[in-house]
Amino acid sequence: MKRAEVYRSSDARPERGDKAGYYVVVSRNYIARSRDIDTVICAPVYSRILGVSTEITIGPGSGVPHVSSVRCDFLMLMFKSRLKYVGQLAEQDVERLDRALGAALGIDSHEHA
């Protein structure tokens, strides 16, 4: 498992309207790859696109069935064992993800470069 990979969970989550869904791993690779750590932080993927600075759009090339939004305002802690790999973000999408995460967390990415 690594950062910016896309996973599907079959677990119904109350915060998703009791539905299963797709997630993008946003934890750093040290956490994502560690066999000693059971969880990762993920950004949920939704079919509805809001067009806000804290989300990015991705498409089937990333492993999701249709154009969708990755919402960085709603980060979730997920068990690695409950996630099934479906794809990964393209390099330009990772850059957009970083900007959206910065906006969601109130962090100016240029200050930490």
CATH of the domain at 44: 2.30.30.110
- Largest interatomic CA distance in the chain: 39
Q: Which band of pLDDT confidence, cut at 50, 70 and 90, is reported for residue 20? A: confident
Distance (Å, whole) CA 111 – CA 10: 38
Give the number of domains in the chain. Answer: 1
Segments forming the whole domain that contains residue 65:
5-112
Q: Around 60, how many Cα atoms within 13 Å sit in the side-chain half-sphere?
A: 2
Per-residue pLDDT for 112 more than 50?
no
Per-residue pLDDT for 17 more than 70?
no
